[in-house]
């Protein structure tokens, strides 16, 4: 269109396809390639190092002229085999969920809608509210609780501990900062088995990681609650202000569950915020086998957990659940004039998620969580959690029956830590041998456990948050560890 003032206006540009038929065909081809990849998850190597030829594709200069849709799609398709391996049935490393093919539909829908869930009144917000209400129901939190979908437990922990910290100052510190606070140094408590994200949250919140006391654990790797009480008393006597106890429902090293009921009792008696890191373990409430040990969750002030771990939602999706909506909102709420709500129209839908966390722009993670729960239901998802625990127990039995394998910790949940022990080998050599066994399993594309230290010694750590794993996969793992162990010992 021309203008009297600008008769030579050029036609406007857009990023939309000029040929929608061609785009549709291209999208179908991409979908086929993605489904082919998913249908063959069990086949081939568990992990394929990224070839130098493909690495080179990601080392070029910033493109001034684009390469176009076809060439871009060729790059996307070429990436498909080079994931971390967590979609394979024998991926046992760290704590990775395995995802589901059907979650792709939610991701396609979310990409097509391209919603921003910082606030406002639109369909996506109702989906997130439904997920929030489901979480409330799942963990038996009151009507007055609140929550937010986030990328994962690390950021959920920061949000929770900020609320715990700010409540100590009746939220005045949000304006005045912590430089001159009337309470003196704040201190918090967790177990020696805690995940590093808790200390990181202390650091991010300006408290310093030294302010986090790591309480010793018992022989089951659960926090020693007597030691906790003694440390709190000592800190109070020294003029410090205890402000949070962080319990763990599923510790990352060995899967232990703290005595959450006792921690809730201590928090109540001491008037200290009770937070639970339930990154993977909290969803054990869906499993008949685990739920009795997780009864203390419903007493927490805040709970951080992930949908991308034991609910197998595609990466990434975590959640922060807060007992007090008011505390939660007062920790983050800030509504400048350009974000003002309204009774009607698009700016309605109060309160907005931006009032419950640090982010304004937020993607539609809620949809894939909703879709996973809606399609599969809690009964099936819970049964899969039980299945993984039974598989870990089965692996523990295989280990105990094996001449060269030693169990390093009780199998409390879904994690089995053990090591290969060659005859007459000292601890240090055995540490190195087990590290090498794990690397060989990964490089040879057989299985992907990770390693950790248990009581100071290197262990092969098998975490099963994988709905594709079978007992046959675990038998194969043991067989291959034996083979590699023998080969490496013969070489040394």
Ligand X SMILES: Cc1ncc(COP(=O)(O)O)c(C=O)c1O
The smaller minimum CB distance to ligand X, of residues 154 and 388, is found at 154
The smaller minimum CB distance to ligand X, of residues 128 and 306, is found at 306
Which of 128, 259, 277, 431 contacts ligand X by CB under 6 A? 277
Phi and psi torsions of 284, nearest 5°? -60, -15
The smaller minimum CB distance to ligand X, of residues 187 and 197, is found at 197
Number of residues this chain uses to bind ligand X (CB under 6 A): 14
Q: What is the H or E stretch that residue 191 is in?
A: strand 186-191
Peptide bond before residue 307 is cis, with ω within 30 degrees of 0: no
Overall residue count recorded for the chain in this entry? 492
Q: How far apart are CA 160 and CA 309, in angstroms?
A: 19
Which of 100, 153, 190, 391 contacts ligand X by CB under 6 A? 153
Which of 46, 138, 197, 285 contacts ligand X by CB under 6 A? 197
Q: How far apart are CA 186 and CA 188, in angstroms?
A: 7
Using CB under 6 A as the binding rule, whether residue 412 contacts ligand X is answered as no
Q: How far apart are CA 57 and CA 255, in angstroms?
A: 40
Give me the least distance between CB of 473 and ligand X, in Å please.
21
Which of 139, 280, 319, 332 contacts ligand X by CB under 6 A? 280
Which residue's Cβ lies closest to ligand X? 152
Alpha helices in 403-464 (DSSP H): 427-443
Using CB under 6 A as the binding rule, whether residue 95 contacts ligand X is answered as yes
Tokens of 373: 């729960």
Which of 195, 376, 419, 468 contacts ligand X by CB under 6 A? 195
Tokens of 185: 């140094």
Using the contact rule CB under 6 A, the part of the chain among 62-70, 74-82, 228-236, 274-282 near ligand X is 274-282
Q: How many degrees, rounded to 5, is the angle at CA 320 between CA 152 and CA 177?
A: 100
Buried b / exposed e along 289-310 (16+ C-beta atoms within 10 A): bbeebbebbbbbbbbbbbbbbb
The smaller minimum CB distance to ligand X, of residues 154 and 434, is found at 154
Tokens of 255: 């899967």
Give me the least distance between CB of 257 and ligand X, in Å please.
11
Give me the least distance between CB of 394 and ligand X, in Å please.
22
Using CB under 6 A as the binding rule, whether residue 318 contacts ligand X is answered as yes
Cβ neighbours of residue 418 closer than 8 Å, sequence gap 6 or more:
396, 399, 405, 406, 407, 408, 459, 460, 462
Using the contact rule CB under 6 A, the part of the chain among 220-228, 275-283, 359-367, 473-481 near ligand X is 275-283
C-beta separation of 166 from 192 below 8 A? no
Give me the least distance between CB of 149 and ligand X, in Å please.
12
Q: Count other Cβ atoms within 10 Å, centred on residue 250.
A: 31
Sign of the CA dihedral 352, 358, 361, 366? Answer: negative
Q: How far apart are CA 88 and CA 38, in angstroms?
A: 10
Using the contact rule CB under 6 A, the part of the chain among 22-30, 117-125, 151-159, 223-231 near ligand X is 151-159
What is the per-residue binding string for ligand X in 154-193, x denoting contact by CB under 6 A? Answer: x---------------------------------------
What is the per-residue binding string for ligand X in 234-263, x denoting contact by CB under 6 A? Answer: ----------------x-x-----------
Using the contact rule CB under 6 A, the part of the chain among 61-69, 147-155, 174-182, 267-275 near ligand X is 147-155
Give me the least distance between CB of 437 and ligand X, in Å please.
22
**For residue 429, is it left (φ>0), alpha (ψ between -120 and 50) or beta?**
alpha
Which of 85, 93, 99, 152 contacts ligand X by CB under 6 A? 152
List residues near ligand X by CB under 6 A. Answer: 94-95, 152-154, 195, 197, 250, 252, 277, 279-280, 306, 318
């Amino acid at each position: 269109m021309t203008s009297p003032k600008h008769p030579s206006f050029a036609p406007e540009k857009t990023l939309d396809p000029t040929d929608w038929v061609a785009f549709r065909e291209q999208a179908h081809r991409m979908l086929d390639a993605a489904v082919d990849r998913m249908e063959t998850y069990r086949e081939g190597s568990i992990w394929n190092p990224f070839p130098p030829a493909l690495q080179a594709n990601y080392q070029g200069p910033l493109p001034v002229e684009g390469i176009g849709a076809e060439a871009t799609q060729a790059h996307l398709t070429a990436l498909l085999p080079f994931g971390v391996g967590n979609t394979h049935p024998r991926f046992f490393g760290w704590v990775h969920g395995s995802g589901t093919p059907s979650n792709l539909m939610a991701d396609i829908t979310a990409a097509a809608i391209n919603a921003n869930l910082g606030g406002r009144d639109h369909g996506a917000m109702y989906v997130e509210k439904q997920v929030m209400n489901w979480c409330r129901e799942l963990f038996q939190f009151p009507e007055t609780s609140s929550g937010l979908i986030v990328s994962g437990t690390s950021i959920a922990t920061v949000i929770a501990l900020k609320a715990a910290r700010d409540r100590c100052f009746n939220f005045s510190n949000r304006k005045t900062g912590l430089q001159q606070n009337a309470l003196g140094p704040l201190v918090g408590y967790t177990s020696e088995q805690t995940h590093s994200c808790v200390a990181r949250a202390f650091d991010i919140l300006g408290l310093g990681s030294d302010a986090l006391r790591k309480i010793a654990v018992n022989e089951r790797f659960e926090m020693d609650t007597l030691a906790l009480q003694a440390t709190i008393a000592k800190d109070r006597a020294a003029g410090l202000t205890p402000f949070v106890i962080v319990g763990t429902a599923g510790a990352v090293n060995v899967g232990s569950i703290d005595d959450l009921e006792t921690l809730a009792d201590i928090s109540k008696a001491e008037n200290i915020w009770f937070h639970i890191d339930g990154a993977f373990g909290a969803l054990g409430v869906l499993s008949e086998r685990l739920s009795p040990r997780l009864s203390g969750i419903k007493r927490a002030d805040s709970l951080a957990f992930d949908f991308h771990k034991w609910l197998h939602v595609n990466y990434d999706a975590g959640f922060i659940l807060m007992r007090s909506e008011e505390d939660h909102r007062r920790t983050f709420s800030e509504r400048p004039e350009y974000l003002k709500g309204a009774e009607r129209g698009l700016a309605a839908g109060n309160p907005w998620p931006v009032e419950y966390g640090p982010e304004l722009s937020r993607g539609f993670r809620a949809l894939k969580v909703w879709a996973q729960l809606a399609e599969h239901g809690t009964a099936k998802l819970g049964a899969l959690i039980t299945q993984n625990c039974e598989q870990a127990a089965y692996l523990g039995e295989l280990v105990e029956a094996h001449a060269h394998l030693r169990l390093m910790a009780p199998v409390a949940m879904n994690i089995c830590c053990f090591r290969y022990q060659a005859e007459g080998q000292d601890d240090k050599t055995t540490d190195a041998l087990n590290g090498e066994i794990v690397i060989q399993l990964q490089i040879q594309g057989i299985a992907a456990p990770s390693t950790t230290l248990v009581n100071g010694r290197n262990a092969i750590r098998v975490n099963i948050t994988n709905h594709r794993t079978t007992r046959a996969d675990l038998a194969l793992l043991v067989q291959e560890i034996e083979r590699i162990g023998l080969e490496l010992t013969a070489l040394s």
